[in-house]
Amino acid sequence: MAAVWSNPDFQFVFWALVKIVVILFTMLTVVSYMIFAERKIAGHMQARIGPNRVGPFGLLQPVADVLKLFFKEEFTPEGANKVIFHIAPMLAVIPALVTFSVVPFGPQDALRVTDINVGLLLFLAMSSLGVYAITLGGWSSNNKYALLGGLRSSAQMISYELAMGLSTIGVLLLAGSLSLVDIVRAQQHWWFVIFQPVAFGIFMLTALAETNRAPFDLPEAEAELVAGFHTEYSSMKFGLFFLGEFANVITISCIAVTLFLGGWNGPWLPEPLKFLWFFAKLGALLFFFIWVRWTFPRLRYDQLMNLGWKVLLPLALANIVLTSLFVWWRAQG
């Protein structure tokens, strides 16, 4: 047993699994209480109290919601493609969880699962998989409203992923690496949001569209499509779609903190406590997502497409050109 434990490969796998379990548990807890926080903040913004019945100050409301969904009746529509219908909700959650494996929460190795040299590329790949869950869920439900929601999602994500990917190239040019840890270390003195304000704005706007949050929640526009792509889903399958949406919000906020807001970098705190800066910035971005949802009305579909193709995409391309010139000028000097 001692020989097995002393094997470096075994130790690497063991500690990676421990970190995965800890981060997974933490993320699921944070997702549950982000839903609670959104309902509370929305309540105060609308001069209401919000959930306050279950547990002290309503803090056990997420537990009650999970139990309610867990015991609700499972329902599969007649004529649905059963295999895809059951797989789609899982596809909504898995990409967000996988992306968490490369997010550096702090300078210590214990605060990240792994550091791969193509971490940014992994994020872009995983974020593009989210559209499959919505499209397949809508198509397999054998429901016209769900299908329309799935088709809207496909068009929306294709339109906005392009601008999102291009907005990260400026960061890549400044940092000279695809590793998220190297990108954070490159911001030790100056955060990239100072040099890339346009890219940061584009990234946050496209993040709202990527996560199907208001004012870009066209795939589930309840005023037009009943509930959109998850019209026919109930019980924990609906819960997984709900979980996937909020998990994606947290994941994309973590990436925004890493790329533009300096990650764990910040003044005053000693090295072992630097991770607190990361979570403070993450909390600010999560509040931004909640504030936008309960402040702005939903865009029309044509406005959504025009913004993506005619405004954000040209801006992202112009930002790449200007950043390239800046990097070239700095190299010459």
DSSP letter assigned to residue 309 = I
In 3-state terms, what secondary structure has residue 242?
Answer: helix
In the prediction, which pLDDT does 79 show?
A: 78
Residue 169 structure tokens: 């190239």
* Chain-centroid distance, C-alpha 294: 18
Decide if 251 contacts 261 (C-beta within 8 A). no
In the prediction, which pLDDT does 221 show?
A: 58
In the prediction, which pLDDT does 270 show?
A: 85
Q: What is the pLDDT along the chain (333 residues), one digit of tens a residue?
A: 666 667 777 777 777 788 778 877 887 888 888 888 888 998 988 888 888 888 888 888 888 888 888 888 888 778 788 888 888 888 888 888 888 888 888 887 767 777 888 889 999 888 888 788 888 888 888 888 888 877 877 788 788 888 999 999 999 999 988 999 999 999 988 899 999 999 999 999 999 988 878 787 765 555 555 566 777 787 888 888 888 888 889 999 999 999 999 888 888 888 888 889 999 999 999 999 999 988 888 888 888 889 989 999 999 999 999 999 999 998 886
Decide if 207 contacts 200 (C-beta within 8 A). no
- Dmax (CA) of the chain: 68
DSSP letter assigned to residue 270 = -
C-alpha separations of 77 from 138, 156, 220, 238 in Å: 12, 26, 19, 14
Say which residues have a Cβ less than 8 Å from residue 220's Cβ, sequence separation at least 6.
149, 212, 227, 228, 229, 230
In the prediction, which pLDDT does 201 show?
A: 95
47: left (phi over 0), alpha (psi -120 to 50) or beta: left
In the prediction, which pLDDT does 80 show?
A: 80
